[in-house]
Chain A
Amino acid sequence: MSRSRVALAVVVVVAAIVIQTTVFAQGRIQPLGFAPALVTLVIVALSVYLEPEYLLLVGFTAGILVDLMGSSTLGLWAMTLTAVAYIAGRLKQTVVDRPLMLIFVVFGATVFGQFLYVLLATLFGHDTISEPRVLGNVVMPAVWNVLLAVPVFWILSKIFNRTTSRLAV
Chain B
Amino acid sequence: MFSASGRQIDRATIIFLTLTAVAFIVATYDVRSSGEGVADTMREGTQSLFTPLQSGVDFVTRPAVGFVDGIANIAGLRDDNERLASRVRELEASASEGESLREQVIQLEAINGLTVPGELATVTARIGGSGASTFDNIRFIDKGSEDGIVAGQAVVDEDGLVGWVDLVSAKASRIRLIIDPAVSVGVRISRTNETGIVTGHGDGPLRLEMFRANEGVNVGDRVVTVGSRFPPGIAVGTIEASAKAEVGFVLRTGVNPAVRLSQLDYVKVIVGWSPIDAQLQDEDATPQTTVVPETTSTTEGSG
Give the contact stretch, choosing among A93-101, A120-128, A160-168: A120-128
A86 to B18 alpha-carbon distance, docked (Å) = 12
- Complex contact A25–B130 (CB within 8 A): yes
A-B pairs with CB below 8 Å: how many?
Answer: 179
| Contact (Cβ within 8 A) A17 B134 | no
Contact A23 B61, CB 8 Å, known A69-B47, A75-B30, A117-B133: yes
Q: How far is the CA of A30 from the CA of B203 in the complex (A)?
A: 14
Main secondary structure on B side of the interface with A = helix
Nearest chain A CB to B135 CB, angstrom units:
6
CA distance A52 to B10 in the complex (A): 11
CA distance A19 to B137 in the complex (A): 17
The yes or no answer to B16 lying at the interface (CB within 8 A) is yes
Residue on A nearest B181 in the bound complex, by CB: A127
Q: How far is the CA of A22 from the CA of B129 in the complex (A)?
A: 5
Given contacts A75-B23, A125-B31, A132-B202, contact A26 B61 (CB under 8 A): no
In the assembled complex, A28 has its CB within 8 A of some CB on chain B: yes
Write the nearest CB–CB distance from B69 to chain A, whole angstroms: 6
B24 within 8 A of A: yes
| Chain B count of residues within 8 A CB distance of the other chain | 62
User: In the complex, what distance in Å separates the CA atom of A74 from the CA atom of B22?
Assistant: 11
Provide the bound-state CA to CA distance between A116 and B16, in Å: 15
B210 within 8 A of A: no
How distant is A138 from chain B, measured CB to nearest CB, in Å?
A: 9
Inter-chain CA distance A65–B264, complex, in Å, is 24
The residue on A at minimum CB distance from B264 is A27
Interface residue? A41 (CB, 8 A)? no
Task: Please name 6 further chain A to chain B contacts, defined as beta carbons within 8 Å, in addition to the given A52-B12, A86-B12, A134-B202, sorted by A numbering.
Answer: A17-B132, A27-B263, A56-B12, A69-B131, A74-B30, A131-B203
Can you list 24 A-B pairs, Cβ within 8 angstroms, ordered by A? Answer: A21-B132, A26-B261, A27-B261, A27-B265, A29-B68, A37-B134, A39-B133, A57-B15, A66-B133, A70-B131, A74-B35, A74-B42, A75-B23, A77-B132, A78-B27, A79-B20, A79-B27, A82-B19, A82-B23, A120-B27, A132-B201, A132-B202, A134-B202, A137-B134
